[in-house]
Structure 1
Amino acid sequence: MSSSSLLNIGIQATQANQTALSTIGQNISNVNTEGYTRQRVNLVTRPELSGVFVKDIERITDKFLTQQVWTDTSSYNQASAYAAMSSRLDDLLAADTHSVSTALDDYFGALQSVVDDPTSTANRELFVAQADALVKRFNNLDANLKSQAETINAQMDGYASQITSLATSIADLNAKISTAAATNRSTNDMRDQRDLLTNQLAEIVGVTVVDQSSDQYSIFIGNGQPLVIGATAEKVVSVLGPDSAQKELALVNKNETVNINDEIVGGKVGGLIKYRSEALNDARSQLGLIAVGFAESMNEQHHLGLNLNNEFGADLFTNMNDDFLQQKRITANSNNQSEVNIARVEIQQTDLLQASEYELVVGDGNRLTLYRSSDGKQVRIDQLTSVDDPLSPLTTAQGIDAVGQGEFYRDPAGQVLSFAVDGMKVTIDTSTKLIKGDRFLIQPVTSGAEDLSLSLHDGRLLALASPIKVSSNIDNQGTGLATVTMTDAKADAFASAGELSPPIEIVFNDPASSPSGEMTYTIYDMSDPNNPVVLELDPAVGPLSDQPFTSGGEIQLDGYTVTIANQPQPGDRFGFDYNLDGVSDNRNAFALSNLQQTALFDHGSYQELYGSLVEKVGTRTATAVISEQAGKAVLDTTTSAKDSVSGVNLDEEAAKLVQFQQAYQASAQLIRVSQTIFDSLLQSL
């Protein structure tokens, strides 16, 4: 080997080892740089003992581990976002300062004071004040839930902008990497930056990353919609969803905006979407259900009592079937082709109401399907019972009025639809036929707590007395005890103000006069006390004489029910008349108080339903926290595995530093040896 060849080998070795030392220095200096990937110099020998050269400077990375980190990052951030919001909701519902259960206790406590002394003006005014406080508690708690929804909307706006920005930066790096690779320039630092941006994107939203053979990242979002393809990035925007109060994400692709909200899983956005649909909306609907049921049941019972002015009670709380509220509960999709004249949702039976939103969808052949969001249940409207008789068609107004639970009506022109399910009655009137693709969002109870208000502010107007006074004849010999339960304050019996038409008397007959030998009774119309006549409510039934008596059985009359317990004797009489000036009567107040323990919903009373809501949120929160902790542990494990491959190990780099430093010195020695040999050759000439 000539000295010139030895010199070339030395020079090449020096240069190669110098590059290796520079690379090690780069690794050491970036040990704490976020996203930095360890680099390694790959040396290759030249053929025929002609030295060494640097083939490339390689990024030490594992594509599988990198992809797994992105996946686990998305999963953890979804769980973290959900847990954080759910914990706030849990604290909100359980805190005494916000709890509806605590306010209900105070409300019914004040009502009990009225039961104890209905003549007390102070007790009446205290009850009105507690009713107002309860309304405010519902309103304030609902306002807090809406505030969370508004916070999520603001976050969706921000995340849409961040996703677009990150996607644009990744596409720009794709282009730069492609250009650099084509000119044999190093792309390692740009690849690190691209991976870091992709990781930041995965924190926000779940993505699928495809590493193309051409060194380009293709990134897909939602159900495979392209976000980044090569040097092109699409734009993500926030848009109003079917519920105009909620922001959703959409992808702008070739000037077409496609809503991808329901397809997004993972990342902070996925956590917010899941929390909003699964926990927040459910909590607000559940709270609204309690408010609607509370207002309707309290109003219904209050209507059956008398106030201090001898008048039947008015609404105590909001009339939940106010026309404005009915129309507020249904929203036509902005893309509908049919034009709505009017649409409304009436509350028919509070005991059947569900804490859920619904979507009515018009399908093929004008087939109408109702989807319940809480459990995914589907109801085919045309499979309900039709109220229309083809042989005797109803008018549109008659058809709508006739619809009860489990029934539907549709006019021949296909422009009016009315159906009733789950305690609500939906009526839609359009100027054209409903068209395939039309959708309607139905929210029967969502805003119930927001809509609740106190309608009565004067304690004198509290209807605490029963409208019917019961009197037992002084000469009664038996143990019979008569009570009255009001059923309809609008019945003909109460058509004349301040009167029971007619007043009646129930007289028990001698069993010996009965063919069966059993006790019977006769009901008399006492409009003229000097000339009582046997009462006849229905000509088809005839006079109510010699009716068989059952102790504790209900006697159905016009707008009220009489019950006589125990055992009366023949000749015993019980009179029923209008309860004029019954200021000390507390029977309707007692009935109002009993509503606290009455199961008015599928899941129990007002407080049982609220307790169920708090328990459900608490359980979800605990589960979310566990999922967050598990997600963090998985992410830490995956990150550690990736760092063990791609991260900088200072001990390892220090050893390599010594190794290549010695190799560099040995290479320099080759150059000196080559120079010595060359000098010796010159001297020998």
Structure 2
Amino acid sequence: MSLLNVGARALMANQVALQTTGHNIANVSTAGYSRQSAQMVTVQGQFTGNGYVGQGVDVQTILRNHNELLTRQAAMAGSAQSSDVVRVQRLEQMQDVFSGGKDGLGTAISDMLGSLSDVLNSPTDMTARTVTLTRMSETAARFRSAADRLYDIENTVNEQLKNNVTKINSLAKNIADVNEQIASATGNGQVPNDLLDKRDQLIRELNQYIQTTQIPADDGSVGLFIAGSQPLVLGNTATPMSVSEASEFPGSGKIAVYFNRPGASPLELNESMLGGGEVTGLLRFANNDLAEGRNLLGRMAQAIGMSMNAQNKLGLTLDGQLGKDLFSVPTSAPGYSSGVGVGSVAFSNPTQFAASDYEVRFTTPPAGQVVRLSDGKATAFTDLTNLASQQIDGLTFNVTTAGNAGERILFKPFANTAANIQGLVNAPSELAAANQINAAMGTSNAGSLQLSGLKATGIPALTLPAFGTNVTLSFNGTGGFSIAGAAGTPMDISTTPPTPLTPTNPGPPPVYSYTSGQAINVDGWQITLQGTPKAGDTVRIGNALDPQYGDAYKRNAGNAGALMNLRDAQMFDNATLQDGWASAMSQVGTRTQSAQYAANMSTSIADSLESQRVAVSGVNLDEEAAKLIQYQQAYQASAKMLQIAQSIFDSLLQTVSR
């Protein structure tokens, strides 16, 4: 009987081993499956006078080949990879908006400014004027189109966030259900391998959307925590999540996810608290990358619109009227308060704009600081009057009600400009191509003095000569000139605010230094002269609408030249207006390239850890085929053992029965 028992045990053990090997082979392609193996132990031998006689083998358990540390590391690395990859995908979409080529916004801006050369050459040519206005409308349309594409990307991101949160809630519920099954199965003293594999796979899938921390419980269940300590899954209970607008700055468009704790108010979680996962990458893109893209686009629209509007209003139309705005751009933008503070931001100097959002933070109200969010640069203020008196990056912050200590006001000055910009002038005659001032060399000039440029700048303020009078520049022949008839003194407009020039001789009249080709700025207009004057040479500047000049202003295109010359104005982080689009493309490209590098790095780490995990848990068909042969032979030998035991038993019965 002992031999029969040994054989029977061996047969059963090898059958279990064969079944386990077959289970491995069947699940070779099952995601998350961990290779299993039958763990056999020797049955305690029976004591006899001749020693302990062996009684065969038993299957102690079915072992799950699994490394807990590698599994968790792989899940965490996969979470970081998902965050980086989804962010890169969206950045690449945004990079397509900031593209070059003949259909790009940069080309439209260049064509618009270039078309003014035809107006400059032929001020009364209606066709040339119409082309310029058409180019302006096209530029505005391309700004709006680019803004619309950014809004489309934002809507896609918002929908993806909602879908991801729905998947998170579904996976968390499934994990809670599996937790309950595992806790029930663990009570029999054996490990439910397939349920553990199912739960690990669900956790890996969950980490693709949001990073979790795992803490095992004594009953075999696992608690999952997000944002450091928030229990997403505890035992068989899952807490739902949602996505909505951030509560801190209502109306600002910032997005956050919410942890909906039972019996308590939803807890707001932002991207800095969540670690990895697609949700983190999408939040980071929506609240930071996309905001920068809008700021770059909006800053260009605001600066171009303000600059060209200001210059056009300094000129004269063909009807002798002052020019009006060429583009519709806002004069101010509202603030979004986290408390009781109220304020707005006004646009002052387009050459100093920075592509950034701003926060006014109250430390000891009404004192605080203005923080540029793009780089954290802070500017302190003592009270609201002091704040309004400062011009920060070409902006003026007008806060009417201070916040309490610790409260903030968020300003997004450029967020909506590009989406709403429009061309305002449609009639060719309304393009203010002519200067409001006229200039002529003195009839008795003996030097080589020539007029190189004349335009109204409006800096510090335009003061035109009265009808019938002139402003006269008189040269002394030794490198100096004096001014008669002007309301102000020559200014250096490169400083902020502009500063008066120091005369080389205080006079009277004061004498100022003359340099050929260097602009002279007086009363809000600018004249540029070239050549060497003789003593007594003069230049006369008068009001272009003075009857003594008749309709000469209609054939003047000085203001069109000033509009065209805006292309060389330093505006966007030391880039010229014409090169502003290339600068914006570069900034978006640099951000995308940096994100691609991070994604490649995190993908490499995730792939490496997953390979290590699979090396431990994965099924190798060659190994399993070898085990099949091994256990088949062992099974056949066990069956042979039973056959021999049966034969011996039959012979014993025959002998005893005689």
Give the alignment's TM-score, normalised by structure 2: 0.86
Alignment of 1:245-644 (within 5 A): 245-254=253-262, 255-262=264-271, 263-321=273-331, 326-327=332-333, 329-333=334-338, 336=339, 338=340, 340=342, 343-363=343-363, 368-382=368-382, 407-408=386-387, 420-430=391-401, 434-481=403-450, 484-488=454-458, 493-494=463-464, 500=466, 503-506=469-472, 508=474, 521=482, 523-524=484-485, 546-552=509-515, 557-561=522-526, 565-580=530-545, 581=551, 582-644=553-615
The separation in 2 between residues aligned to 1:72 and 1:554, in whole angstroms, is 62
Residue 60 (structure 1) shift:
0.6
SS in 2 for 1:595: helix
Pair 1:163-2:168 in alignment: yes
Find the aligned partners of 2:374 and 2:455 in 1 and give their Cα distance. Answer: 37
Q: Deviations over 1:238-269 (max 9, x none)?
A: 01024643432221223321222232232222
Equivalent of 1:654, from 622, 625, 628?
A: 625
Question: Matches of 1:282 and 1:509 in 2, distance apart?
Answer: 52
661-670 vs 104-113, greater mean Cα deviation: 661-670
Shift of residue 589, structure 1, vs aligned partner: 0.7
The whole-number CA distance in structure 2 between the counterparts of 1:154 and 1:366 is 41
1:518–1:548 Cα contact (<8 Å) kept: no
CA contact (8 A) 2:209 2:277 kept: yes
Task: Please tell me whether the aligned partners of residues 35 and 618 of structure 2 are also in contact (alpha carbons under 8 angstroms).
Answer: yes
Give the secondary-structure state (helix, strand or coil) at the position aligned to 2:570.
Answer: coil
| Contiguous gaps of at least 5 residues in structure 1 | 387-398, 401-406, 410-417, 512-516, 527-540
Judged with a 3 Å threshold, the aligned counterparts in structure 2 of structure 1 residues 78 and 682 are, in CA distance, closer, same or farther, namely: same
CA distance, structure 2, for counterparts of residue 31 and residue 134 of structure 1: 59
Specify whether residues 551 and 661 from structure 1 end up closer, same or farther in structure 2 by C-alpha distance, changes over 3 A only.
same
Deviations 1:570-604 (A, max 9, x none): 44443332213311101111111111112123321
Change (3 A) 1:632 1:576: closer
TM-score by length of 1: 0.83
Tell me the distance in 1 between the aligned counterparts of 2:649 and 2:285.
Answer: 80
1:36 to 30, 33, 46: 33
Corresponding residue number in structure 2 for 1:19 = 16
Q: Tell me whether 670-679 or 62-71 shows the greater mean CA deviation.
A: 670-679
**Residue of 62, 68, 84 corresponding to 1:63:** 68
Distance in structure 2 (CA, Å) of the matches to 1:508 and 1:607 = 37
Alignment of 1:48-59 (within 5 A): 48=45, 49-59=54-64
Shift of the alpha carbon at 1:179? Answer: 0.9
What is the Cα-based RMSD across aligned positions, in Å? 3.0
**2 CA distance for matches of 1:577 and 1:365?**
52
User: Which of residues 219, 226, 241 in structure 1 aligns to 2:231?
Assistant: 226
SS of aligned partner of 2:55: coil
Q: Establish whether residue 143 from structure 1 lines up as the match of residue 148 from structure 2.
A: yes
Q: How far apart in 1 are the matches of 2:228 and 2:374?
A: 23
Give the structure 2 partner of residue 78 of structure 1. 83
Partner of 1:10: 7
Aligned to 1:237: 242
- Shift, 1:15, TM fit: 1.9
Secondary structure class of the residue paired with 2:554: coil
Please name the residue that 1:101 is paired with: 106
Pair 1:273–1:505, CA change in 2 (3 A): closer
* Cα distance change, pair 562–378 in 1 and its aligned pair in 2 (3 A): closer
* Residue identity opposite 2:290 in structure 1: L
Contact 1:85–1:275 (8 Å) recurs in 2: yes
Tell me the amino acid that sits aligned with residue 504 of structure 1: N
Q: Residues 434 and 555 of structure 2 are in contact (CA less than 8 Å); yes or no, is this contact kept in structure 1?
A: yes
User: Aligned partners of 2:519, 2:638: CA distance in 1, in Å?
Assistant: 113
SS in 2 for 1:576: strand
Aligned 8 A contact 2:34 2:65 in 1: yes
Tell me the distance in 1 between the aligned counterparts of 2:520 and 2:600.
63
Separation in 2, partners of 1:524, 1:70: 80
The answer as to whether partners of 1:93 and 1:614 remain within 8 angstroms in 2 is yes
> Are the structure 2 counterparts of residues 450 and 507 from structure 1 closer, same or farther at C-alpha, using a change threshold of 3 Å?
closer
Q: Indicate the SS of the match to 1:146.
A: helix
Partner residue, 1:531 = none
Do the aligned partners of 1:503 and 1:525 also contact (CA within 8 Å) in 2?
Answer: no
Q: CA deviation at 1:681?
A: 3.3
> What secondary structure, in the 3-state scheme, does the structure 2 residue paired with 1:272 have?
helix
- Conserved 8 A contact 2:470-2:541: yes
> Contact 2:475–2:533 at 8 Å: present in 1 too?
no
Offset from partner CA, 1:182-211 (integer Å, 9 cap, x none): 134651111111111111112222222334
* Contact 1:203-1:268 within 8 A present in 2 as well: yes
| Cα contact 1:86–1:621 (8 A) shared by 2 | yes
Take 1:45 and 1:518, find their aligned partners in 2: how far apart are those partners? 113
Percent identity reads 30
Partner of 1:537: none
Preserved contact between residue 11 and residue 639 of structure 2 (Cα < 8 Å): yes
Asked if the contact 2:447–2:537 (Cα under 8 Å) also holds between the matched residues in 1, the reply is yes
CA displacement at 1:563 relative to structure 2:
5.6
**Residues 637, 462 of structure 1: CA spacing in aligned structure 2 closer, same or farther, 3 A cutoff?**
same
Partner residue in 2 for 1:682: 653
The alpha-carbon deviation at position 135 of structure 1 amounts to 0.4
The 1:58–1:98 alpha-carbon spacing in structure 2 relative to 1, beyond 3 Å, is farther
Tell me by how many angstroms 1:484 deviates: 4.4
Shift in alpha-carbon separation, 1:670–1:653, aligned structure 2, 3 A:
same
- Per the alignment, do residues 425 and 480 of structure 1 end up closer, same or farther by CA in structure 2, a change over 3 Å counting? same
Q: Helix, strand or coil for the counterpart of 2:138?
A: helix
Q: Is the 8 A contact 1:520 1:546 kept in 2?
A: no
Alignment length, in residue pairs? 618
CA contact (8 A) 1:408 1:419 kept: yes
Classify the secondary structure of the residue corresponding to 2:61: strand
The answer as to whether partners of 1:72 and 1:634 remain within 8 angstroms in 2 is yes
Q: Aligned pair in 2 of structure 1 residues 317, 172: CA closer, same or farther (>3 Å)?
A: same
| Aligned CA distance change for structure 1 residues 507 and 683 (closer, same or farther; 3 Å) | closer
Secondary structure (helix, strand or coil) at the match of 2:434 reads coil
1: distance between equivalents of 2:651 and 2:227?
75
Which consecutive unaligned segments of at least 5 residues does structure 2 have?
A: 46-53, 488-502, 546-550
Shift of 1:428: 2.4
- Cα drift, residue 522 of structure 1: 5.8
Per-residue deviation, 1:620: 3.4
**Corresponding residue SS for 2:345:** strand
CA distance in structure 1 between the aligned counterparts of 2:326 and 2:60, rounded to whole angstroms: 86
C-alpha distance in 1 between matches for 2:393 and 2:68: 52
Instruction: Name the amino acid aligned to 1:373.
Output: L
Separation in 1, partners of 2:11, 2:323: 102
Distance 1:245 1:308, change over 3 A: same
d(CA) in 2 for partners of 1:589, 1:420: 29
Q: 1:114-158 deviations in whole A, cap 9, x for unaligned?
A: 111111011111110010000001110111112111111111111
Label 1:465 to 1:85 Cα distance change in 2 as closer, same or farther (>3 A): same
Name the SS of the counterpart of 1:607 in structure 2.
Answer: coil
